[in-house]
Amino acid sequence: MDAKAPAALSHETRLDRLAEIAVKVGLRLQRGQEVVMTAPIEALPLVRRITAHAYKEGASLVTTLYGDDEATLSRFRYADDATFDRASGWLYDAMAAAFNKGAARLAISGEDPSLLSGQDAEKVARANRARSAAYKPALEAIVNFNINWSIVSYATPAWAKAVFPNDPPEVAQAKLWDALFKASRVDGDDPIAGWHRHNAALKARTDFLNDKRYAALRFRGPGTDLTVGLADDHWWEGGASLARNGVICNANIPTEEVFTTPHRLHVDGTVRSTKPLSYQGTLIEDIAVRFAEGKIVDASAKRGIEVLNKVLSTDEGARRLGEVALVPHSSPISHSGILFFNTLFDENAASHIALGQAYSKCIRDGGSLTPQQLTEKGANTSLIHIDWMIGSGEIDVDGVRADGGVEPLMRKGEWA
C-alpha cells in the first residue's frame, strides 16, 4: 500500500475531515450538548480538532479524559496484588451522571493491541472485571442508546507497529493513517454527503431483514456450523441509528455491519473465529467454541486461552450472545487486506458475534421495556460486550423462517 495520502489532500486536511465526521456524522452533536471524550494521550492532535468542531457546532462543554499505555503498564508491573480488584468507580459514576444529564459520548481508540499480552492473566482479568462492574451504569446508557455516542480511531505508533511490524515506524504509521482515512470515508469531494449515502444503503439492508423476520441464522464454513436463534421481536440496525434522546448518530466510524439481537437460549453448534480478537491489550487467536442451548460449553484458542476463560467467567451472561452481525466479505475494510488488531475495524471486515450484553434497541420497542421483559424476549445481560469475527470468503449464511424454511442470505461471504 502507498504510504502517502492522495496528493490533493494533506494529512492535516484528512485529520480535520475525520474530526468533522466524528462530530457531524458520528455524534450528530446538538447545540447546547456537552461532550465527554476519552482518548489515548498520543491522539491530542485529533482531540483538538474534534474539540474545535464540537464548539463550532454549539457544544456547551467538551471534557476529555486521556489514557496512557505506559501508565497502564506501570500498574501491572508495580502495584500491590490486592489492588487489582479496584476501579475508579467515582470516575465512571461521574460519566454516568453526565450521560443521564444528556452529554454525548465520544471515544477515540488506538491503544497498543498487545499491551497486556505479557502480563499476569489473573491480574488482567481481575482489573477488567472490576472496571466492568464500575463502568456498568455508564455502559448501560451507551448500549441502551440513551444518548448519542460514537467511536473513531487514531493511528498511534504502537498500533501501527502491531499492524505493520516489518516497516520502519514512520512508514507503518503513514500506512495505518491511510487505511484509517479510507475506511472512515474521509476522502472525496464531500465526506459528509458520502456518509449519508452509505447510511442509506445500510438502511435498505436493515429494512429488507426486518421485513423478512427470520427466526434464526445459520452459519456454515470451515470449523463452523452454528445456528443463531433470534430474539422475539428482534430488530435489525445498521449505520445511522436513532438514540433515545432523539438524535440520529453513527456509533461506529467506520461501519459496514447490520446487526441484531440473538436469543440468549437458542444458539447451538460450533463456530471458529476467522480473525484474532484483541481484548484490552491481549490477543486471542483461533477461538473455537461449542454452544448448547445458548451457552458456550466448550472453548479453546491457539493463543490467549487464559484470558478467554477469564472473560467467559465474568458472569453468567458472558457465555451467551448479545449480538450477531452480517458484513460482506467485500467490504472496504476486508478488501484492504489489513488485519487491524482492533475490533472497531476488524468487525467491519467480517460477520461477527458478540459475547455478553445485548442492545435493547435491537428489540422492537426495546427502549420502553423493563430488563425483565427484555430477558423474556431473549435479550442477554452481562457486564461485557465483546465482538469477535466469524465471517470470511468461505462462510455461507442462511435465513431460517419460523416455518423451518431456509433462504440463502450470504454465499462465500457475499450477499446472495
Binned at pLDDT 50, 70 and 90, residue 344 comes out as confident
Binned at pLDDT 50, 70 and 90, residue 343 comes out as confident
Does residue 3 surpass a pLDDT of 70? no
* Residue 33 lies inside a defined structural domain of this protein: yes
Q: What is the pLDDT of residue 64?
A: 98
298 and 157 share one domain:
no
* Residue 250 lies inside a defined structural domain of this protein: no
- The pTM score is 0.85
218 and 178 share one domain:
no
* Residue 89 lies inside a defined structural domain of this protein: yes
Domain count, the chain: 2
268 and 229 share one domain:
yes
Q: What is the pLDDT of residue 283?
A: 81
* Residue 316 lies inside a defined structural domain of this protein: yes
pLDDT in tens, 371-395: 999 999 999 999 889 999 999 999 9
Q: What is the pLDDT of residue 66?
A: 97
Phi–psi pair at 338, nearest 5 degrees: -95, 130
C-alpha cell at 234: 428482534
pLDDT in tens, 138-192: 998 998 889 999 999 999 999 999 999 999 999 999 999 999 999 999 998 899 9
pLDDT in tens, 79-136: 999 999 999 999 999 999 999 999 999 999 998 988 888 899 889 989 988 998 999 9
Q: What is the pLDDT of residue 113?
A: 87
Closest CA relative to residue 219, chosen from 67, 408, 5:
408
Cβ atoms of 250 and 25 within 8 Å: the answer is yes
* pLDDT, mean over the chain: 94
d(CA 26, CA 13): 18
Task: Please state the rounded mean pLDDT for residues 310-336.
Answer: 94
Q: What is the pLDDT of residue 7?
A: 54
pLDDT in tens, 273-316: 998 888 866 789 999 999 999 999 999 999 999 989 999 999 99
The DSSP secondary structure of 237-303, one letter per residue, reads B-SSEE-TTS-EE-SBSS---EEEPEEEEEEEEEEE-SS-EEETTEEEBS-EEEEETTEEEEEE-SB
Q: What is the pLDDT of residue 125?
A: 86
141 and 224 share one domain:
no
* Residue 377 lies inside a defined structural domain of this protein: yes
Binned at pLDDT 50, 70 and 90, residue 339 comes out as confident
* Residue 6 lies inside a defined structural domain of this protein: no
The CATH number linked to 58 is 3.40.1830.10
Closest CA relative to residue 306, chosen from 149, 144, 119, 152:
119
Partner residues linked to 258 by β-bridges: 326
Domain that holds residue 55: 11-183
309 and 162 share one domain:
no
d(CA 232, CA 216): 10
Q: What's the one-letter identity of residue 271?
A: V
Q: What is the pLDDT of residue 5?
A: 44
Residue ending a domain, among 141, 165, 183, is 183
Partner residues linked to 285 by β-bridges: 303
Does residue 1 surpass a pLDDT of 80? no
97 and 58 share one domain:
yes
DSSP H or E run through 181: helix 169-183
* Residue 120 lies inside a defined structural domain of this protein: yes
pLDDT in tens, 195-242: 999 999 999 999 999 999 999 999 999 999 999 999 999 999 999 999
